[in-house]
Amino acid sequence: MIAINDLTFAYPDSDFRLNIPSLVLEPGEKVAVVGPSGTGKTTLLNLIAGIAVPQSGTVRLGDVTVSNMGDADRRSLRAGRIGFVFQDFALLEYLTARENILFPYRIAAGAKIDDAARTRAVQLAQSCGLEGKLDRRPGALSQGEQQRVALCRSLIMKPDLVLADEATGNLDPANKVAILDLLFARTSEQGATLLAVTHDHELLPRFDRVIDFAIFRDAGEHAA
């Protein structure tokens, strides 16, 4: 479960201010975050992941309070319990699809790429329709395939939470649906919570819940 209470955040030298009195995501819940650009949707993901630290309030992920953790612990939390999917895929061009999927193992402290990890990478890739493409580099893959690789990378460490930041933003309509199908299916299999920032309103009915950042703005608590 993710629980945010009385959270306030502001960037230095900026009039941007984010106030979230209360926000709770249940385990396994699929939640979409919508709202105009610059309202703090990505900032919310960064705060939950411990990339940014709130000025006040708490962010809890399961049994740990992210906002109180030290830098190393938050890094460790991201590497082990949170998966990221980015709009621009953010794959390493010089690694194959297989090595991109296994990349979190290379940066997570204490993680080791063993046979089990390799097998899991192959299984994930197969479940995302990447058979026969594991040894290709991103430059040799289509955009839809690159996002599938990024999706596999986000799930390889069996995270409790997957944060998707405009994950379908660079894809054509067919691939948008396909990637969202995969995102839903794979996170459901793992029982992971999905929090997805999106501008694609036609996809919203598929989520369990939609958080419109306008409610924070309407409440006068959030200034973009």
Partner 1 sequence: MNAFFLAISYLRFHWARSLVLIVVTALILSVPIISQVLLNGSQTALTERAEATPLVLGSRGSQLDLAMNALYFSDDRANPVTMADADAIWDSGLGLPIPLNTAFETNGARIIGTSVEYFEFRGLNVAQGRQIALLGEAVLGASVAERLGLVPGDTVVSAPQNLFDLDGVYPLELNIVGVLAPTGTPDDEAVFVDIKTSWVIAGIGHGHDGVLAEGATSDDIVANAAIVEFNRITDDNIDSFHFHGDPADYPVSAVVLVPNDARAATMLRGRYLDADNPVQIIVPRDVIGELVGRIFRIKSLLDAVTLIVGGAALAAVGLAIFLSYRLRAREMQTAFKIGARKSMILQLIGAETILILCIAGVIAIALTFAVQTNGSTIVAWLLAT
Helix axes 71-81, 41-49, angle to 10 degrees: 100
DSSP 90: -
**CB 167, min distance to partner 1, A:** 14
Nearest distance from C-beta of residue 139 to partner 1, angstroms: 9
In the list 16, 53, 57, 103, the residue contacting partner 1 (rule: CB under 8 A) is 103
Task: Return the number of the residue (64 or 204) whose C-beta is nearest partner 1.
Answer: 64
Q: What's the Cα-to-Cα distance from 190 to each of 79, 161, 183, rounded to whole Å?
A: 16, 10, 11
Whichever of 95 and 224 has its CB closer to partner 1, that residue is 95
Q: Is 11 in the site for partner 1 (CB under 8 A)?
A: no
Fill in the per-residue mask, 51 to 90: x = in contact with partner 1 (CB under 8 A), - = not in contact.
x-----------------------xxxxxx-x-x-x---x
Q: Which is nearer to partner 1, 4 or 82 (CB)?
A: 82
Q: Are 177 and 64 in contact (CB under 8 A)?
A: no
Choose between 140 and 215: whose C-beta lies nearer to partner 1: 140
- For residue 39, the 8-state DSSP code is S
Residue from 7, 32, 49, 151 binding partner 1 (CB under 8 A):
49
**Strands ordered across the beta sheet of 17-25:** 17-25, 2-10, 56-61, 64-65
Cα(164)–Cα(198) distance, rounded to whole angstroms?
8
Pick from 22, 73, 106, 191 the residue near partner 1 by CB under 8 A.
106
Smallest separation (angstroms) from partner 1 to the CB of 104: 6
Site for partner 1, residues 146 to 185, rule: CB under 8 A: 153
Q: Burial, 176: exposed, middle or buried (Cβ in 10 Å; 0-12, 13-18, 19+)?
A: buried
- For 94, residues 6+ apart whose C-beta sits below 8 A from its C-beta are 137
Of 95, 214, 223, 224, the one binding partner 1 by CB under 8 A = 95
Contact 190, 155 (CB under 8 A): yes
Binding residues (CB under 8 A) for partner 1: these are 49, 51, 75-80, 82, 84, 86, 90, 92-95, 99, 103-104, 106-108, 137, 153
